């Protein structure tokens, strides 16, 4: 039995697998329309969004691109806050839409400097600000409410937040945050199959999209927004993925959001406590910014993340993720999102410690 502790796609509950194995619904049937309306309303409750979620048949990255295509034009001036690989991804996507792009880079493992952000906002007028909530490369949760409060004090920019790996793992309040666009995905903490992006829009963002002079057929949110108001989709969706998402959403609310968030927080706390004060490895994220979705472990130079990953898989049947970019060999990432038990987390921690000890020459094979 594989203990899948990677960073997504995450394990699926049996009921979700069963739903995906059913014959596909016609996306133009009344049954689908009713199910679609119910699921998108449930997903909106998850983040206190003003309107039902939009479900696009693509990855979270596709959702980010569609979101940016809908609020950024060639004349827009955009600010990106980055403290890791997924902040860098936001900048890379945004660069396709506008040359007027400013990037504030912050130290990986930490979060954004609010004083520096305030100073930057006083230097230029921005049309959009892009940032991540859960930086999956480092395991950090950024303090989005505080960040957006600074933005709102100095700018009327639209704010897009990547919540791909935090949606369903931690409390998110779109209204309280003051965010305009949230982009998530189904294959992380929502414990659903890969294949759909989940997008939420503020009323202000909806007005911007409706008034935009540029509209693409697919990777733009206007067709999806217009169809959503009719409890429908503009194009054929990934129907069997949707059927899995429908069951997953019901399971999330059956567990109860407070209990669900406590379970994710406890998993994160166990990871951090287990690797506190150990030689050759430490938790990458600063304690006050540690997220509940992923724990990133920073390895000593003598260790290889890919070697540890391979050994965990072949010797212990545990799958983890390595780091990204320049951190590929320096970081091991342990996912604790969606459908998991705390016992599975404990098993993964024990095995990881054993493999690190072996790789360090602590005892023989």
Known binding-site residue numbers for substrate = 333
The first and second tokens of residue 226, run together, are: 């217009």
Instruction: DSSP for 191-243, please give it.
Output: ---SS-EEEEE-HHHHHHHHH-S---SSSSHHHHHHHHTTTS-SS---HHHHH
- Residues 177, 183, 186, 187, CA torsion sign: negative
Give the whole-angstrom CA distance, residue 199 versus residue 290: 24
Give the whole-angstrom CA distance, residue 291 versus residue 172: 13
Residue ranges for the binding site? 333
- DSSP single-letter state for residue 53: P
Specify the residue for token string 């509940």. Answer: 292
Report in angstroms the alpha-carbon separations of 51 from 43, 199, 205, 206: 10, 11, 12, 10
Exposed e or buried b for every residue in 314-345, given b needs 16+ CB within 10 A? Answer: eebebbbbbbbeebebbbbbbbbbbbbeeebb
- Is there a contact between 106 and 81 (Cβ–Cβ < 8 Å)? yes
Torsion of Cα atoms, 195 then 200 then 204 then 206, to 10°: 40
Give the whole-angstrom CA distance, residue 146 versus residue 219: 30
């Amino acid at each position: 039995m594989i203990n899948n502790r990677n960073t997504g796609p995450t394990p699926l509950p049996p009921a979700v697998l069963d739903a995906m194995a059913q014959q596909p619904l016609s996306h133009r049937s009344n049954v689908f329309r009713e199910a679609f309306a119910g699921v998108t309303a449930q997903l909106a409750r998850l983040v206190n969004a003003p309107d039902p979620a939009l479900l696009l048949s693509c990855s979270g990255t596709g959702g980010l691109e569609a979101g940016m295509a809908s609020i950024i034009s060639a004349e827009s001036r955009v600010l990106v806050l980055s403290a890791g690989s997924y902040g860098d991804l936001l900048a890379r996507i945004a660069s396709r839409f506008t040359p007027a792009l400013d990037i504030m880079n912050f130290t990986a493992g930490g979060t954004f400097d609010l004083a520096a952000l305030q100073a930057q906002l006083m230097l230029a007028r921005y049309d959009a600000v892009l940032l991540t909530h859960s930086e999956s490369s480092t395991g950090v949760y950024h303090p989005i409410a505080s960040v957006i409060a600074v933005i709102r004090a100095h700018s009327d920019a639209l704010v897009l937040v990547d919540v791909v790996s935090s949606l369903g793992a931690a409390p998110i309040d779109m209204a309280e945050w003051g965010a305009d666009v949230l982009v998530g995905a189904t294959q992380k903490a929502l414990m659903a199959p890969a294949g759909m992006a989940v997008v939420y829009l503020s009323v202000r963002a909806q007005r911007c999209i409706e008034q935009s002079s540029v509209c693409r057929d697919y990777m733009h949110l206007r067709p999806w927004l217009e169809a959503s108001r009719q409890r429908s989709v503009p194009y054929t969706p990934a129907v069997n993925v949707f059927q899995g998402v429908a069951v997953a959403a019901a399971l999330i609310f059956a567990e109860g959001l407070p209990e669900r968030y406590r379970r994710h927080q406890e998993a994160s706390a166990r990871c951090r406590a287990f690797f506190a004060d150990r030689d050759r490895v430490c938790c990458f994220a600063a304690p006050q910014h540690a997220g509940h979705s992923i724990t990133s472990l920073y390895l000593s130079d003598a260790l290889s993340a890919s070697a540890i990953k391979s050994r965990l898989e072949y010797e212990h049947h545990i799958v983890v993720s390595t780091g990204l970019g320049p951190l590929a060999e320096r970081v091991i990432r342990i996912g604790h999102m969606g459908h998991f038990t705390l016992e599975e987390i404990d098993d993964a921690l024990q095995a990881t410690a054993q493999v690190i000890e072996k790789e360090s020459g602590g005892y023989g094979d």
